[in-house]
Amino acid sequence: MSVLSVEKDNHVTIVTLNRPDARNALSPELLGRLAQTWDAIKLDGSVRAVVLTGASGSTFCAGFDLALSITILNGTRKPENEWDEALANDWTLAHKAMLRGFDLGKPLIVAANGHAIAGGMELLLAGDLRVAASGAKLGLSEVKLGLIPGMGGTATIRDKMGPALAAEILLTSNNISAETAFDGGLLNRVVAADQVLASAMALANAVAVNPPLAVQAARDVLRQSRDLSERESLALDAKYLVELAKTEDAIEGPRAFLEKRPPIFTGR
């Protein structure tokens, strides 16, 4: 049984962490397969949205596997297979797997169907949209271990919620509830655990029916403008608008509206 499941539903790709017996902890093989999957999805023009979830259980992802992955990364265990070797020879493989500094190029909806701790929380933070199970615990536990969240959590959490709550999560390393995270602006939805995937798929399908070039442009402006002045953000906004106005989809959208029919978007 593969540690990672990938399936396609029309223009939505569903990626499932599949190590339920290990609370979907990130082993070298799971990290390697995630990195390969993100590369493939980025190059697949038919994919318009991605959903990341975990196999059924109490935990979406418990973070890095302490026995298998951390021991390879710190050199206290010798590689035993090809996945160990790949991670030992290129630890930036973990960065790509965790979407640290790697832009998937497609909207990512994270469906945290259980607890999201440490690296699991960093995967949640990597999403463009986020759905979590009611009662799930979310947290970054690294400071308690003498470290900091090194897969993007420390650097990006400030952009995903209020600064007071972000600081509390980082500095105390205490978990918060999904409900608290929702109130703090991190999550789009909090639903029953058995409804998390359906809720995330509803969001993904709502994204996927839109013209992909417009979605990509809106996502790019949203992400890039965090580091720009208002003047620079408005200039970027104008640049994308001019480019989009020349596309076939920008002609098809208004035409379909006037003809009272569903639009057919081709990404051109």
**Pairwise CA distance, residues 26 & 52, whole Å:** 14
Helices assigned H by DSSP within 113-229: 119-125, 153-156, 163-172, 178-183, 196-208, 212-224
Do residues 163 and 226 share a domain? no
**Averaged pLDDT, groups of 10, the chain, 268 residues long:** 93 97 96 97 96 93 93 90 93 94 96 97 97 97 88 89 93 96 96 97 97 94 88 90 90 88 89
What's the pLDDT at 150? Answer: 86
Helix (H, G, I), strand (E, B) or coil at 137: strand
- Give tens-digit pLDDT for 95-137: 999 999 999 999 999 999 999 999 999 999 999 999 999 999 9
What's the pLDDT at 226? Answer: 84
Do residues 192 and 246 share a domain? no
Do residues 78 and 145 share a domain? yes
Q: Is residue 263 part of a domain?
A: no
What's the pLDDT at 169? Answer: 94
Do residues 197 and 238 share a domain? no
Containing structural domain, residue 220: 212-258
CB 142 within 8 A of CB 173: yes
Q: Per the structure, how many domains does the chain have? A: 2
Do residues 196 and 216 share a domain? no
Torsion of CA 92, 94, 99, 103, to 10 degrees: 30
Phi, psi of 210 (to 5 degrees): -80, 160
- Read off the DSSP letter of residue 51: E
What's the pLDDT at 122? Answer: 97
What's the pLDDT at 131? Answer: 98
**Pairwise CA distance, residues 210 & 107, whole Å:** 12
Do residues 165 and 236 share a domain? no
- CA–chain centroid gap for 81, Å, is 28
- Residue 188 belongs to domain with CATH number: 3.90.226.10
Q: Is there a catalytic annotation at residue 122?
A: yes
Do residues 252 and 200 share a domain? no
Do residues 223 and 151 share a domain? no
Query: Which residue among 7, 29, 82, 122 is the active-site one?
Result: 122
Q: What is the pTM of this model?
A: 0.94
Query: Which residue among 142, 179, 243, 252 is the active-site one?
Result: 142
Do residues 224 and 142 share a domain? no
Which is nearest to 124 in space by CA: 138, 134, 136, 135?
Answer: 138
Helix, strand, coil percentages (3-state) for the chain, rounded to 5, are 50, 15, 35
What's the pLDDT at 253? Answer: 87
- Read off the DSSP letter of residue 83: H
HSE-CB for 75 with a 13 A CA cutoff:
2
Q: Is residue 116 part of a domain?
A: yes
- Residue 223 belongs to domain with CATH number: 1.10.12
Find the distance separating the first CA and the last CA of the chain, reported in whole Å.
Answer: 39
**Pairwise CA distance, residues 75 & 87, whole Å:** 11
Do residues 192 and 219 share a domain? no
The H or E element spanning position 115 is strand 115-117
Do residues 218 and 202 share a domain? no
